[in-house]
Amino acid sequence: MTALQHVRLGTYYVVNLPEPDDFDFWRERARALVQCDVPPDRIAWIEPGGSGDLFAHGERRMPVPPMDARPVRANRRFVSLAKNAILHSDPERFALLYRLLWRLQSNPRMMEDKADLDVRRVEELDKNVRRDSHKMHAFVRFRLVESEDEEEGEHYVAWFEPEHHILRANAGFFMRRFSNMRWSILTPRGSLHWDGETMAEGPPAERHDAPGGDPMEDLWRTYYASIFNPARLKIGAMLKEMPKKYWKNMPEASLIPDLIAGAQGREASMVEKGALEFEERPDTLAAIDKAIHACRKCPIGALDNTAVMGEGPQDAALMIVGEQPGDNEDMQGRPFVGPAGQLLDVHLEKAGIDRRAAYLTNAVKHFKYVQRGKRRLHQNPGAKEIDTCRWWIESERAIVQPKLVLAMGASAARGLLGKTVSISKVRGTPIPLEDGSELWVTAHPSYLLRLEGPAREEQARLFDADLAAVKARLAELAG
């Protein structure tokens, strides 16, 4: 049937979309309809919960494209805009996209026409969706939920109200960012649940399904207050970035009015105290030590802990880098003095490496933990926290100038490389660093502590082999 015949016969096609964000489904249907020459005004696109009944009357089954149908043209720009625009909450989006696809067949350069109303509208939808995703990344706040079942461990739950259908599209972002946590994100459009291994989707939720008010909120508030820089305060820009509608779900937002009111006074006192900024690199280890104690560039520094400075000779040829201080290190103010440090000592001795001749430090300077009764339980630092702390490890390297750096564990490796690497892939082979030194990566001793039996023996053997290689390489570099 030609386009003219469709119009003349008054044929209507109704496409019921299974999900409001299913681009692949829309694309498959749209292609077939274009190939069957069905004009845009002959199609009703109905999303779940939409008013499909109105059209049931004239409904036609999907037409089947002829064998010799021409391939459908869609350039890259159209596809990338369409993938985002389909997540918009505008019920007209499917029809708009089909109209664009239909018109693209006879005018392949149409997407370049900045004055075209359809092109402008799809660009606007794309922008709104990107902005909504950006807000979600920035403003989702997890709250710790106490579980009745000890086995289940900690569960973090966040409430968020997206404007568009962006939840599923952003699942990967939160999965990567909070891969070690068990979390749920509840929204009025659906929910996501991550248990550390698999992602599950759930039904829409209501505000009261999510918890509110717990110690994590105090943490966020302390953190926000400490990073709030009154010298940079631009109220208009702040409201644009953090629209008021998001405030109600953000614990730190309750501080905003007071912070704004007190901004001038705080600015004066910051200038007086010479508040810390990452602008000038400290040039002595003592200056780094002082600065890390004042550092509140990430929420870990706002916990009840003390920064732990590296220790060892300032001209050490070997720098050994761990993840972060543990409970013992935090209390004693020295790196590697707890169980992981004691195990490290045993293996260093076996390899013939003198601990006192090495400079020992950590990728992250503060102990990250959650309080459980009287106990403080170790928490892995997140990528952003490690990356923020890189400033300090780089400053230490610039002063000590070791010939060889040994990173123990994935966090340490990230702290030195700025990216995540797989230990099993990189161990045993030196990685050249930009200052001419070389990085060797091995497992963290606490990893060995968590293993038992043959698995522990095997990992201990690999650890010893890595240390032996480091020892041999140090001898070569010295000679």
Q: Name the residue nearer to ligand URA (CB basis): 35 or 442.
A: 442
Helix axes 410-417, 383-400, angle to 10 degrees: 70
| From 50-58, 162-170, 207-215, 331-339, span contacting ligand URA (CB under 6 A) | 331-339
In the complex, least distance from residue 328 CB atom to ligand URA, rounded to whole angstroms: 7
Close Cβ partners of 305 (under 8 Å, ≥ 6 residues apart): 325, 330, 366, 367, 369
Site string for ligand URA, 218-237 (x = CB under 6 A): --------------------
Q: Name the residue nearer to ligand URA (CB basis): 140 or 410.
A: 410
Q: Name the residue nearer to ligand URA (CB basis): 20 or 335.
A: 335
Among 187, 191, 249, 362, binds ligand URA (CB under 6 A): 362
**How many positions of this chain bind ligand URA (CB under 6 A)?**
13
Residue 329, interface with ligand URA (CB under 6 A)? Answer: yes
d(CA 239, CA 223): 19
Q: Which residues of 398-419 are buried (b: 16+ CB within 10 A; e: fewer)?
A: ebbebbbbbbbbbbbbbbbbee
Structure tokens at 428: 């045993």
Q: Which of 157, 168, 177 is nearest to 199 (CA)?
A: 168
Q: Name the residue nearer to ligand URA (CB basis): 135 or 368.
A: 368
Structure tokens at 192: 């996501």
Residue 45, interface with ligand URA (CB under 6 A)? Answer: no
Residue 381, interface with ligand URA (CB under 6 A)? Answer: no
Residue 338, interface with ligand URA (CB under 6 A)? Answer: yes
Structure tokens at 63: 């037409």
Residue 289, interface with ligand URA (CB under 6 A)? Answer: no
In the complex, least distance from residue 455 CB atom to ligand URA, rounded to whole angstroms: 20
Sign of CA dihedral 416, 422, 425, 428: positive
Residue 442, interface with ligand URA (CB under 6 A)? Answer: no
Close Cβ partners of 113 (under 8 Å, ≥ 6 residues apart): 119
Q: Name the residue nearer to ligand URA (CB basis): 105 or 380.
A: 380
Among 84, 184, 249, 324, binds ligand URA (CB under 6 A): 324
Q: Are 294 and 273 in contact (CB under 8 A)?
A: no
Q: Name the residue nearer to ligand URA (CB basis): 13 or 392.
A: 392
Helix axes 76-85, 23-35, angle to 10 degrees: 130
Q: Name the residue nearer to ligand URA (CB basis): 230 or 335.
A: 335
SS3 175: helix
Residue 325, interface with ligand URA (CB under 6 A)? Answer: yes
In the complex, least distance from residue 309 CB atom to ligand URA, rounded to whole angstroms: 11
Q: How far is CA 134 from CA 129, 173, 248, 451, 477, in A?
A: 9, 11, 18, 40, 48
Residue 441, interface with ligand URA (CB under 6 A)? Answer: no
* Residue 333 backbone class (left: φ over 0; alpha: ψ -120 to 50; beta: rest): left
Residue 312, interface with ligand URA (CB under 6 A)? Answer: no
Q: Which residue has the tokens 């508040």?
A: 275
Close Cβ partners of 228 (under 8 Å, ≥ 6 residues apart): 255, 259, 266
Site string for ligand URA, 340-359 (x = CB under 6 A): xx------------------
Site string for ligand URA, 99-128 (x = CB under 6 A): ------------------------------
In the complex, least distance from residue 49 CB atom to ligand URA, rounded to whole angstroms: 51
Among 230, 301, 322, 402, binds ligand URA (CB under 6 A): 322
Give the binding site for ligand URA (CB under 6 A): 322-326, 329, 335-336, 338, 340-341, 362, 446
